[in-house]
Amino acid sequence: MRNVPFRQVAQELGCSLDEDSQIAGFQIDSRYVSPGELFFALKGEQVDGHAFLQDAKASGAVGAVVEMGYGGPDFGIPLIRVGSVLSALQKLARTDLERSGARVIGITGSVGKTTTKDFTAELLQAKYKVGKTPGNYNTKLTLPLSILNRDGGEEVFVLEMGMSEPGDIGRLLEIAQPEVAVVTKVALAHAAYFPGGLGEIAKGKAQIFSSPKLKSAIFYKALGEYECFANAPGEKIVFSLEDRSADYFLSDLEGRYALDERGVRAYRFDLPFREPHLLHNFLAAVCAARQMQLEWDEINRRIPFLKTPKMRFERVEKGGVSLINDAYNANPESMKAAFLSLPEAKDGAKRIGVLGTMSPLGSFSESAHREIGKLAREYFDLLLVYGEEARPLLEAFQEVKKPAELFFSLDEIAARLSELMSPGDIVLVKGSRSMKMDTLFNLLPN
């Protein structure tokens, strides 16, 4: 919806303004406003966007959407007054997406949804003009921006749909209604808001299948144990790396990957990665691509273009040490996936885990951290643990007399890690986004 008349947008939001300017784009954060963009002054729990109208103007905003009751200055820009700025943002995105005629693929899951979204969009480019949510723009605030700031002319839009609290997926379906819906995995992510545990999280994720336009429900086969997945409407398509009875099954044949479609060997791929969680995401993307009528050769032509997002098992070499930046986020399932994907250390070298708190896990926190600490024994020679909430992880690791240390500062971790690392070592850095563990890489000497 970029480069549209200001007058048109105001009219769609129920406001009559005689403005001749064009709107170049849309923003909800005044720090990111570029010249010619429309600023939505959202009210948050801690920040009120109305307090940043002057900043938006200084950055070149062509106007702003404000609450009807706003009585402050306009700072020389036209104001579109609405009952709810959030509702206005979502309504505008919904209308724009419907008008575009683009087919929608929705992707959710506790782990792997961003990578699966990126893989899916990349594969579909073999046949369609494709749009996608940038980064992890997957909330009721950022998903509308993804739609409104699209390039235009998309035939397919691949949308990542996030869930932090119950009902989040349903709210996103009010904005965009997928015809193909994909669920990667279910894990104890944001478990503090789901006291019912995995069953409640699964139910929340499965809400994506309630899209009125749904034709295909794609999900990891193991999720079929949950009634909400087993009874999903539309055509059910399941995938697996473990169960050959799945509709889509991927297996490793001496470095090449064989893909079976409904029990029949369909294709062999040379893939640029071997990590199980990335293979899982690739297989989910293939399922979506096949539902969009891509031929196998079309899929294969896009393989060289598949790239993993930053801070998802990203490898960095420093002084002969292989550091793995998997610090984008963490929950028990993604921790396990990272452990399984660790390369072997050379003879005499160590595998070091720099593991931070997984949050928010609520009442599941202690048991989940302890479980990961026990699992870590199988993969690491020593641990550097970050954050008080992760203490049970440290204690479980130490129970078998393996060395582990607890830290409350990334600077301290960097100093200690510099003392411990030797050429050939493998170091995994992983923790919840709130721990900002990616900054550790800037603290280490080159």
Confidence band of 241 (pLDDT split at 50, 70, 90): very high
Note the pLDDT tens digit of each residue in 255-293.
799 999 999 999 999 999 999 999 999 999 999 999 999
Rounded Cα gap, residues 159 and 161, in angstroms: 6
31 located within any domain: yes
Average pLDDT rounded to a whole number, residues 70-83: 96
Run of H or E including 422: none
Residues 182 and 250 in one domain: yes
| Domain end call among 252, 280, 305 | 305
The reply to whether 80 and 131 lie within a common domain is no
Mean pLDDT along residues 413-425:
95
**Of all residues in the chain, what percent carry a pLDDT higher than 70?**
100
Q: Are residues 13 and 146 in the same domain?
A: no
pTM of the model: 0.89
- State mean pLDDT over 435-445: 92
pLDDT tens, residue by residue, 126-155: 999 999 999 889 999 999 999 999 999 999
Query: How many residues in total does the chain contain?
Result: 446
- Provide the domain count of the chain: 3
> 242 in a domain, yes or no?
yes
Using 50, 70 and 90 to split pLDDT, how confident is the model at 347?
confident
Q: Is the pLDDT of residue 446 over 80?
A: no
Backbone angles phi, psi at 280, to 5 degrees: -60, -45
Residue with tokens 């046949």: 127
pLDDT of residue 1 exceeding 80: no
- The mean pLDDT of 201-216, rounded to a whole number, is 97
Say if 28 falls within a structural domain: yes
Mean pLDDT of 210-221: 97
Are 161 and 237 part of one and the same domain? yes
* Residues 120 and 244 placed together within one structural domain of the fold: yes
Whether 113 and 198 share a structural domain: yes
- Across the range 145-170, mean pLDDT stands at 96
Q: Are residues 256 and 274 in the same domain?
A: yes
Which element (helix H / strand E) includes 157?
A: strand 156-160
Same domain, 301 and 323: no
SS3 272: coil
Domain that holds residue 224: 101-305
Q: How far apart are CA 240 and CA 97, in angstroms?
A: 32
